[in-house]
Protein backbone atom coordinates (compact mmCIF):
# COMPACT_ATOMS: atom_id res chain seq x y z
CA UNK A 1 0.00 0.00 0.00
CA UNK A 2 1.25 3.44 -0.93
CA UNK A 3 1.13 6.46 1.39
CA UNK A 4 0.88 10.14 0.49
CA UNK A 5 0.76 13.41 2.39
CA UNK A 6 -2.24 15.70 1.95
CA UNK A 7 -2.53 19.21 3.37
CA UNK A 8 -5.92 20.87 3.52
CA UNK A 9 -4.74 24.45 3.13
CA UNK A 10 -5.80 27.48 5.18
CA UNK A 11 -8.29 28.69 2.54
CA UNK A 12 -10.27 25.43 2.51
CA UNK A 13 -10.09 25.17 6.31
CA UNK A 14 -11.31 28.78 6.78
CA UNK A 15 -14.19 28.17 4.36
CA UNK A 16 -15.34 25.07 6.28
CA UNK A 17 -14.54 22.54 3.54
CA UNK A 18 -12.33 20.23 5.63
CA UNK A 19 -14.98 17.59 6.31
CA UNK A 20 -16.18 17.57 2.71
CA UNK A 21 -12.62 17.14 1.41
CA UNK A 22 -11.84 14.32 3.84
CA UNK A 23 -15.09 12.63 2.87
CA UNK A 24 -14.09 12.74 -0.82
CA UNK A 25 -10.84 10.88 -0.10
CA UNK A 26 -12.63 8.29 2.02
CA UNK A 27 -15.31 7.78 -0.64
CA UNK A 28 -12.51 6.94 -3.07
CA UNK A 29 -11.41 4.14 -0.76
CA UNK A 30 -8.34 5.88 0.64
CA UNK A 31 -7.62 5.21 4.29
CA UNK A 32 -6.57 7.91 6.76
CA UNK A 33 -3.56 6.62 8.71
CA UNK A 34 -2.56 9.95 10.32
CA UNK A 35 -4.41 13.23 10.86
CA UNK A 36 -3.76 16.49 12.71
CA UNK A 37 -4.64 20.16 12.66
CA UNK A 38 -1.80 22.66 13.01
CA UNK A 39 -0.64 26.11 12.10
CA UNK A 40 2.41 26.07 9.87
CA UNK A 41 5.10 28.47 11.05
CA UNK A 42 7.91 30.03 9.00
CA UNK A 43 10.39 27.28 9.95
CA UNK A 44 8.03 24.48 8.91
CA UNK A 45 7.16 26.31 5.68
CA UNK A 46 10.87 26.70 4.81
CA UNK A 47 11.42 22.97 5.34
CA UNK A 48 8.33 21.84 3.42
CA UNK A 49 8.89 24.27 0.53
CA UNK A 50 12.72 24.11 0.52
CA UNK A 51 12.89 23.43 -3.23
CA UNK A 52 10.99 26.68 -3.89
CA UNK A 53 13.28 29.01 -1.91
CA UNK A 54 14.43 31.84 -4.16
CA UNK A 55 11.56 31.53 -6.62
CA UNK A 56 9.39 34.63 -7.15
CA UNK A 57 6.29 33.06 -5.57
CA UNK A 58 8.03 31.64 -2.47
CA UNK A 59 7.31 34.50 -0.05
CA UNK A 60 3.64 34.69 -1.04
CA UNK A 61 3.29 30.92 -0.73
CA UNK A 62 4.78 30.93 2.77
CA UNK A 63 2.66 33.91 3.83
CA UNK A 64 -0.47 32.09 2.67
CA UNK A 65 0.44 28.73 4.21
CA UNK A 66 1.22 30.34 7.59
CA UNK A 67 -1.93 32.50 7.57
CA UNK A 68 -4.17 30.09 9.46
CA UNK A 69 -4.81 26.52 10.51
CA UNK A 70 -4.43 23.62 8.13
CA UNK A 71 -5.05 19.90 8.33
CA UNK A 72 -2.24 17.46 7.56
CA UNK A 73 -2.99 13.83 6.88
CA UNK A 74 -1.45 10.70 5.52
CA UNK A 75 -3.65 8.70 3.17
CA UNK A 76 -2.96 5.12 2.23
CA UNK A 77 -4.19 2.97 -0.63
CA UNK A 78 -3.30 1.27 -3.88
CA UNK A 79 -1.66 3.85 -6.17
CA UNK A 80 -2.54 6.53 -3.57
CA UNK A 81 -0.27 9.27 -4.93
CA UNK A 82 -1.70 9.19 -8.46
CA UNK A 83 -5.28 8.74 -7.24
CA UNK A 84 -5.10 11.65 -4.79
CA UNK A 85 -3.55 13.97 -7.36
CA UNK A 86 -6.24 13.06 -9.90
CA UNK A 87 -8.96 13.63 -7.30
CA UNK A 88 -7.42 17.00 -6.38
CA UNK A 89 -7.33 18.23 -9.97
CA UNK A 90 -5.09 20.78 -11.64
CA UNK A 91 -3.48 23.46 -9.47
CA UNK A 92 -5.49 26.24 -11.12
CA UNK A 93 -9.17 25.57 -10.40
CA UNK A 94 -10.16 27.23 -13.69
CA UNK A 95 -8.32 24.38 -15.46
CA UNK A 96 -9.39 21.63 -13.06
CA UNK A 97 -11.84 19.00 -14.23
CA UNK A 98 -15.42 18.96 -12.97
CA UNK A 99 -15.78 16.79 -9.91
CA UNK A 100 -12.28 17.46 -8.58
CA UNK A 101 -11.59 18.96 -5.17
CA UNK A 102 -9.92 22.06 -6.59
CA UNK A 103 -12.78 22.70 -9.02
CA UNK A 104 -15.20 22.56 -6.09
CA UNK A 105 -13.23 24.31 -3.33
CA UNK A 106 -10.17 26.22 -4.61
CA UNK A 107 -10.25 30.00 -4.83
CA UNK A 108 -7.42 30.47 -7.34
CA UNK A 109 -4.08 29.00 -8.40
CA UNK A 110 -2.38 29.84 -5.10
CA UNK A 111 -5.28 29.40 -2.71
CA UNK A 112 -6.06 26.01 -4.17
CA UNK A 113 -7.48 24.11 -1.19
CA UNK A 114 -5.12 21.13 -1.03
CA UNK A 115 -1.54 19.94 -1.43
CA UNK A 116 -0.55 16.36 -2.22
CA UNK A 117 2.81 14.65 -2.66
CA UNK A 118 3.81 14.18 -6.29
CA UNK A 119 6.04 11.08 -6.03
CA UNK A 120 6.96 8.31 -3.62
CA UNK A 121 10.17 10.19 -2.76
CA UNK A 122 8.27 13.42 -2.05
CA UNK A 123 5.69 11.52 -0.02
CA UNK A 124 8.34 9.95 2.20
CA UNK A 125 10.07 13.32 2.73
CA UNK A 126 6.86 15.28 3.32
CA UNK A 127 5.25 12.74 5.63
CA UNK A 128 8.34 12.84 7.86
CA UNK A 129 8.09 16.64 8.09
CA UNK A 130 4.59 16.53 9.55
CA UNK A 131 4.40 13.16 11.35
CA UNK A 132 6.65 10.90 13.37
CA UNK A 133 6.29 7.13 13.20
CA UNK A 134 4.19 6.92 16.38
CA UNK A 135 1.59 9.19 14.78
CA UNK A 136 1.04 6.96 11.75
CA UNK A 137 -1.28 4.00 12.16
CA UNK A 138 0.05 0.98 10.30
CA UNK A 139 -2.39 -1.60 11.59
Q: Is 115 a catalytic residue?
A: yes
Between CA 91 and CA 73, with CA 19 as vertex, the angle to 5 degrees is 65
CB-CB contact of 117 with 82 (8 Å): no
Residue ranges for the binding site for ATP?
Answer: 9, 57, 85, 91, 102, 112
pLDDT at 139: 73
Encode the chain (139 residues) as per-residue pLDDT tens digits.
999 999 999 999 999 999 999 999 999 999 999 999 999 999 999 999 999 999 999 999 999 999 999 999 999 999 999 999 999 999 999 999 999 999 999 999 889 999 999 999 999 999 999 999 999 998 7
Which fold is adopted by the domain 2-39+71-135? Alpha-Beta Plaits (3.30.70)
pLDDT at 138: 87
Domain regions of the chain by residue span: 2-39+71-135
Give the chain's length. 139
Cα 41 from Cα 65, distance rounded (Å): 8
The residues facing 7 across adjacent strands are 72, 115
Catalytic residue among 16, 17, 48, 115: 115
For the whole model, what pTM was predicted? 0.95
Cα 58 from Cα 28, distance rounded (Å): 32
What is the largest distance, in Å, between two alpha-carbon atoms of the chain? 42
Residue ranges for the binding site?
Answer: 9, 57, 85, 91, 102, 112
Amino acid sequence: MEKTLVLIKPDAFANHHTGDIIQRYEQEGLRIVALKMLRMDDRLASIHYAEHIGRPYYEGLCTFMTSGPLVAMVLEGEDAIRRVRALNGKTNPAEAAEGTIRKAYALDGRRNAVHASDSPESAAREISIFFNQTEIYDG
